[in-house]
Amino acid sequence: MPQTDRETTQFIDKLIGLGILRKEIEEDIRYIYHCSRKLELPFLDYMNIQDLVEMSGYENDAPLIAVLISMFGVLQEGSLCLDLEEERLYTGLLSFIEEERAGEIAREFLSGLSRDKYKGLITKNGDEYLPLILSETKGIKLLYFQKFYLHEKFLRLRLEALLRSEPVLKIPESTIEAYLEDIYSPQLSVHVSRGGLPIEKDKHQVEAIRLSLRSQFSIISGGPGTGKTSLMVNIIRCLMRAGIRAEEILLGAPTGRAAQRMTEAVQYNINTIKEPSEGDKELLSLKGSTLHKILRYRSYSHDFYYGEANPLPASVIILDEVSMVDVVMMEKFLRAVDPARTKLIFLGDKDQLPSVEAGAVFAEMSDGISVESFKDRLTVLEKVYRSGANLLRLAKQINKGICPEYSTLPFNSALQLKPDKWAFVQNEGIRAWRNHIRLWTDYHYLKPRYGDSRSFRELIGKACGMDHAGLLNSDPGQEILREIFNRIENARVLSLVRNGIYGCTGINMQIADYLSLEFGPSAWRKEGYFSGAVIMITRNDYSKELFNGDVGVVIREREGAYRAFFPRSGSFTTFSMDLLPPWELAFAMTVHKSQGSEFDDVLLVLPEDETHRLLTREIVYTGITRAKKRLIIYGTESGLNSALERKIERQSGLRW
């Protein structure tokens, strides 16, 4: 953010120019707005703040303006409300106001609140139509915007109804045990791969299956490699044996890519069974869908077809990646679930990043103060089946806030790591960073790796010598595409932030500028793509079955046309570039976007600003657990230490 007096003046002038502030504003209000730059709020938030204080007659109330700015700040960080306990409010204001003023402002606001000074803006009655709701429960005072107060209130009621719900399908214990014996038998067991070993009959997974069959509502949490996908398939197989038909089951996820992975998981696991039953084969028709698609979002009315008065007609709903679902979406979804009819199963990782939007519902159900209420509905998977003791140990240390022992390595040496190894590379400035990105690009895209006979560049060259029909329909074409996508999934740069030279947008531009010169004729400067460009869809297009998060590759056909190719259920599909929904380059992506994906090699880039609000334990843990074989953490030691000291604490009233 701007630091000089000149830049401060420009910032205030911008607010005045947008009509947010009057030219003649009091000095203490000018000071608060000046300090608020640290929060990097969008100008729309400032407009909302000014509307709130003007419409309610408090435009000259500096403490109220400071608290409103703080509310938008915590909302931006994912909290639903602002804790008004004096010490917590003081700490919150410290995030952007200098220490000597923060305490004074906090006390002045709380004094005014106790005198009912803000009765034109704040109410204690949740049914009264005022913008801000003050909730007081068990001595805890929380200040909400009305929207989030209502969504949280109704979400609590729906979760409580789920906790009270009795199973519609009552299966005797002896029958459950018979199902377990059946699905883990040699001929019917899911295997690690076709022709591979059968999956282990893990006690935590077995208990999760039992819980899912006994309960109308159950929660399963497990980190990467704990077997959540094969477990999901085995739960469905047991439900089928209990009489649930495939058409009565819904598979849902917050993003299109996560939903597609559910589809792929079912098909992959069922196809590893030696002698699948007829019921098992029926499951091949199951497809995952986004929550919006399941609820049938209606854009013309900005609502959903399914809701409280019209619940979903399903006997079983399984939601994956629940940690990514925010409070508003979760409340709207549960509004459409009838606990007296529908069995609901949540899957996720309680230690992973919470939703981008406000709330941390899954973490609150499976960890912390609320876990006592949900303990009879919760199974935590503990055994990790992914090989890699060093990377697993690192993830556990990071999750506990423990700084691992390490020595910094030169980037060249870090690129040569053996499997199950990680390295920390010190950020030595922009010039070194540009060179390191070029080394990464050379290593992963221009040279053969780990005994491969052909580099990524050579594979793209082979693909360019064919037309799309040949690539899709011939054995050599399919083999080339498989190798290309195997190489794409081998390596990814992950950044905590989008913008700047260390953000995924800047990294993608650096890689694209370099590769576009290496891969032959290019439309890079004119169209923003080139043959060999790795891209990611950013908006769902159900007509093309392309979803937010889908990763593809651009190939210039033999005749010169550019097309994007995407993997699709064991095969591939292709579209002309001008027919694609919105997309962006994906040599690098944010850690948030990477959730649910895994790569052999990960370069995890920490932001240059060691105080950045995204620099937390959870985001580093999530980035680390995307790596299956090798990991490079790139940044400063103080930046890593700063992340380990910060744990995401989202404020909410969801206390059971």
Please name the residues in contact with 266: beta carbons below 8 A apart, sequence gap of 6 or more: 232, 233, 236, 251, 283, 284, 286
The burial of 28, by beta-carbon neighbours within 10 Å (0-12 exposed, 13-18 middle, 19 or more buried), is given as middle
Report the sign of the C-alpha dihedral through residues 450, 452, 458, 463, in that order. Answer: negative
The DSSP bridge pattern shows strands 297-298 and 303-304 to be: antiparallel
Q: What is the C-alpha end-to-end distance of the chain, expressed in Å?
A: 40
pLDDT digits (tens, 9 = 90+) for 394-416: 988 888 888 888 888 999 999 99
- Report the range of poorest mean pLDDT among 16-25, 98-107, 121-130, 301-310: 16-25
**Interatomic CA distance for residues 362 and 5, integer angstroms:** 44
Confidence of residue 140 (pLDDT cuts 50, 70, 90): confident
Going by C-alpha positions, the residue among 592, 593, 487 that lies closest to residue 538 is 593
- Higher-confidence residue: 100 or 442? 442
Burial of 175 (C-beta count, 10 Å sphere; 0-12/13-18/19+): middle
Q: Please, what is the average pLDDT of the chain?
A: 86
What's the confidence (pLDDT) of residue 358? 58
Tokens of 75: 């909302």
- Which tokens sit at 273? 């069974």
The confidence band for 646, taking pLDDT boundaries of 50, 70 and 90, is confident
The partner residues of 535 in beta bridges, in order of sequence, read 552, 585
Q: Is the pTM of this model over 0.85?
A: no
* Helices and strands, number each (H, E), in the chain: 27, 24
pLDDT in tens, 454-494: 889 999 999 888 888 888 999 999 999 999 998 998 999 99
Q: Residue 605 pLDDT > 90, yes or no?
A: yes
pLDDT confidence of residue 5 = 58
How does residue 4 score in pLDDT terms, banded at 50, 70 and 90?
very low
- Position 317 pLDDT exceeds 90: yes
Tokens linked to 528? 């923003």
Collapsing DSSP to helix, strand or coil, 546 comes out as: strand
Note the pLDDT tens digit of each residue in 268-292. 999 999 989 988 899 999 999 888 8
Res. 321: pLDDT tops 80: yes
Radius of gyration for the chain, computed over Cα atoms and rounded to the nearest angstrom:
26
Give the C-alpha distances (Å, rounded to integers) separating 459 from 437, 448, 454, 617: 21, 10, 7, 38
Is the CB of residue 249 less than 8 Å from the CB of residue 316?
Answer: yes
CB 417 within 8 A of CB 259: no
Supply the DSSP symbol for 446. Answer: I
- Greatest C-alpha distance within the chain: 80
Tell me, what's the pLDDT at 369? 45
Asked if 478 and 571 touch (Cβ cutoff 8 Å), the reply is: yes
Residues contacting 483, CB < 8 A, separation 6+:
454, 459
